[in-house]
């Protein structure tokens, strides 16, 4: 199949530092190439891929210091549109602009929505251009969307099996990994660990926007013998950090659309203790790959008994449902469904002649 992957330009594919979307685009692209598809990647010029790269800006925008990304995305999408005839399927990983620009080739387009959808700002586009095929990254992500949009599939993210290798033995500490942000509830993680009397390691960055929250809410809680603030860690250190943990705490307080860190932990064999919110019930199998809880007390109980779960069973749950092979295969099915729909749309016209 001739497939275009259209990545955001904020980060390189794969990203040099952070960038969940760009990491997923990279994994999907490489797996589709490996499966023999003819893949073209529209992305920043500092991307690395075994697909054909169409560099749309010399360097990823965030590290280049470009703050308004719209112009660069418009130019990229114009380039994609100029080449639309060369592809069977055009797969967008950007949010908005393509819905307007690709109306006349909507039948071969699909967009994976990577972000939260519970903000009113984007809704006018989804309501107006509702013929554009959409893919959600969890079923729960769809909840705030208007009725009548053209859902094609839910495709959960996948992770290459080798990225976070399996650790037969976990460790003693609970792990909190990600950003220090109110919706991630690091304060809740600290309460869970101290009540359960189990050590907690927090590996997290503090964005400038969250500095005040860090200083006012989180920093005062860090002064506890069971709590260690490790700071920001890189991708390699991350898998070690997860692999050596007793469990990952994921005490979120917002409708997380997917939550890559959950499957990274599962890949390492580390179970996840997660609050029931957003994608959590779709990712975690309660009692197998972790525990789904609804209160701090439940989380404390889960943290005490999490050692009874089989780490091999956690890894198997990952291998069964969250590898890149499974993700790519789901997307190929979605592409094929598009082509069939397209064909179905064309047939009556032919028959009417």
* Chain contacts with a copy of itself (rule: CB under 8 A): 57, 66-72, 74-75, 77-78, 96-97, 99-101, 119-125, 128-129
- For the chain, give the number of residues: 353
| Burial of 1: CB neighbours in 10 Å, binned 0-12, 13-18, 19+ | middle
- Measured from the CB atom, is 102 or 318 closer to a copy of itself? 102
Mark 124-151 as b/e (b = at least 16 C-beta within 10 Å): ebbeebeebbbbbbbebbbeebeeebee
Nearer to a copy of itself, 99 or 107 (CB): 99
Cα(116)–Cα(284) distance, integer angstroms: 19
d(CA 330, CA 31): 12
**Structure tokens given for 235:** 């991708």
CB of 72 to a copy of itself, least distance (A): 5
Q: Minimal distance in Å, beta carbon 94 to a copy of itself? A: 11
CB nearer to a copy of itself: give 122 or 240.
Answer: 122
Complex with a copy of itself: residue 71 or 344, whichever CB lies closer: 71
Q: Among residues 185, 214, 212, 213, which one has the least CA distance to residue 200?
A: 185
CB of 56 to a copy of itself, least distance (A): 9
Instruction: Count Cβ atoms within 10 A of the Cβ of residue 82 and give its class: 0-12 exposed, 13-18 middle, 19 or more buried.
Output: exposed
> How far apart are CB 134 and a copy of itself at their closest, in Å?
14
| Minimum distance, C-beta of residue 294 to a copy of itself, in the bound complex (Å) | 31
Query: Which CB, 123 or 237, lies closer to a copy of itself?
Result: 123
**Most distant CA atoms of the chain, gap in Å:** 79
Q: Which is nearer to a copy of itself, 97 or 226 (CB)?
A: 97
Q: Is the separation of the CB atoms in 306 and 269 below 8 Å?
A: no
Nearer to a copy of itself, 100 or 346 (CB): 100
CB of 101 to a copy of itself, least distance (A): 6
- Tell me the Cα Rg of the chain: 21
Q: Closest approach of Cβ 237 to a copy of itself, in Å?
A: 34
Strand order in the sheet with 247-250: 227-231, 200-205, 174-179, 247-250, 272-275, 290-293
């Amino acid at each position: 199949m001739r497939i275009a992957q259209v990545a955001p330009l904020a980060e390189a594919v794969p990203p040099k530092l952070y960038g969940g979307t760009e990491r997923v685009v990279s994994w999907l692209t490489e797996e589709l190439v490996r499966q023999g598809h003819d893949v073209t990647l529209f992305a920043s010029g500092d991307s690395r891929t075994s697909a054909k790269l169409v560099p749309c800006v010399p360097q990823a925008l965030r590290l280049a210091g470009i703050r308004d990304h719209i112009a660069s995305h418009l130019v990229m999408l114009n380039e994609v549109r100029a080449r639309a005839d060369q592809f069977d399927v055009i797969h967008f990983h950007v949010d908005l602009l393509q819905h307007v620009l690709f109306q006349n080739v909507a039948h071969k387009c699909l967009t994976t929505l990577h972000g939260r959808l519970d903000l009113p700002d984007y809704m006018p586009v989804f309501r107006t251009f509702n013929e554009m095929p959409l893919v959600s990254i969890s079923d729960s992500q769809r909840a705030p969307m208007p009725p009548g949009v053209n859902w094609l599939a839910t495709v959960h993210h996948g992770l290459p099996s080798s990225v976070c290798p399996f650790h037969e033995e976990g460790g003693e500490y609970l792990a909190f990994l990600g950003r220090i942000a109110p919706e991630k509830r690091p304060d809740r993680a600290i309460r869970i660990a101290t009540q359960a009397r189990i050590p907690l390691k927090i590996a997290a960055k503090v964005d400038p926007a969250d500095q005040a929250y860090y200083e006012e809410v989180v920093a005062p809680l860090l002064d506890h013998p069971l709590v260690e603030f490790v700071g920001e860690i890189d991708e390699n250190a991350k898998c070690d950090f997860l692999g050596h943990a007793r469990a990952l705490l994921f005490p979120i307080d917002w409708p997380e659309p997917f939550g890559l860190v959950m499957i990274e932990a599962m890949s390492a064999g580390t179970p996840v203790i997660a609050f029931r919110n957003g994608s959590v019930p779709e990712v975690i199998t309660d009692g197998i790959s972790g525990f789904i809880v609804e209160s701090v007390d439940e989380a404390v109980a889960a943290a005490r008994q999490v050692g009874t779960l089989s780490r091999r069973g956690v890894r198997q749950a990952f291998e069964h449902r969250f590898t890149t092979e499974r993700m790519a295969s789901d997307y190929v099915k979605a592409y094929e469904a598009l082509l069939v729909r397209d064909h179905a749309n064309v047939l009556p016209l032919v028959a009417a002649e």
